[in-house]
Chains A and B, each alone.
Chain A
């Protein structure tokens, strides 16, 4: 296992288009997290899955955002009707059953640019 992988690494899209990102966590990790990181800021929590169940969503996750984790393996994050304010790095992380109080493993992120 090579760690958490995210695809694509970069995405440029026109305002109003829909985009979807994928995250493949470390295979034995049942917990998966999505974060958003804008320039000059630390990562901000978006949502959390334990296995296939989405257990927590941040208020940052507007109605245009949806995340899924079918079968408790990979996860997708979709943004509908993208806006310029959605431009950011989207980070995925996974952890084992003990959660983020031990160690979280992050992917390299998907950098989204909305033009």
Chain B
């Protein structure tokens, strides 16, 4: 069985500052992928960043980067130079190869303060 835990229900950050959202997971599989998805208010969920478990290098997408600690089963998201448009629910998700779905955490609501 897999679990994804997001221990921060809410976070806030000043505009232009940096914030880190935490995620831990558990899986018995060796082949899996990790994701951060963003769900803005009343809008569809979109992919922020993706990490393949077999890659040691942390994924980066512009202002978004991850700290993937495989042994610790930790997958945090760092948002640099936060913008007002970053305000949203952020979900950490796990995909196990051979499965047919994503397994989501409970989410972290990020508020960006002007």
A8 at the interface (CB under 8 A from B): no
A103 to B46, CA, bound (A): 9
Chain B 74-111 interface mask (CB, 8 Å, partner A; 1/0): 00000000000000000101010100111111110000
Q: How many residues of B contact A (CB 8 A)?
A: 23
Please give, as numbers and ranges, the residues of chain B lying within 8 Å of A104 by CB-CB distance: 47, 102
**Minimal beta-carbon separation of A106 from chain B (angstroms):** 4
Please give, as numbers and ranges, the residues of chain B lying within 8 Å of A43 by CB-CB distance: 45, 91, 102, 104
Please give, as numbers and ranges, the residues of chain B lying within 8 Å of A99 by CB-CB distance: 95, 100
A108 adjacent to B106 (CB under 8 Å): no
Please give, as numbers and ranges, the residues of chain A lying within 8 Å of B47 by CB-CB distance: 103-104
B106 adjacent to A40 (CB under 8 Å): yes
A79 at the interface (CB under 8 A from B): no
Q: Which of A9-65 contact B (CB under 8 A)?
A: 33, 35, 40-45, 48, 55-56
Q: How many residues of A contact B (CB 8 A)?
A: 26
Please give, as numbers and ranges, the residues of chain A lying within 8 Å of B103 by CB-CB distance: 45
A93 to B35, CA, bound (A): 15
A41 adjacent to B102 (CB under 8 Å): no
Q: Which of B14-62 contact A (CB under 8 A)?
A: 33, 37, 42-47, 50
> Which A residues have a C-beta under 8 Å from some C-beta of B?
3-4, 33, 35, 40-45, 48, 55-56, 91, 93, 99-109
Jot down 15 A-B pairs with beta carbons below 8 A, ordered by A.
A3-B44, A41-B107, A42-B106, A45-B103, A48-B101, A56-B101, A101-B33, A101-B97, A103-B47, A104-B47, A105-B44, A106-B45, A106-B46, A108-B42, A109-B44
Beyond the given A99-B95, A106-B46, could you list 14 further A-B residue pairs with CB under 8 A, ordered by the A residue number? A33-B101, A42-B93, A42-B104, A43-B45, A43-B102, A43-B104, A44-B104, A45-B101, A48-B101, A56-B101, A100-B100, A104-B47, A105-B44, A106-B45
> Which B residues have a C-beta under 8 Å from some C-beta of A?
4, 9, 33, 37, 42-47, 50, 91, 93, 95, 97, 100-107
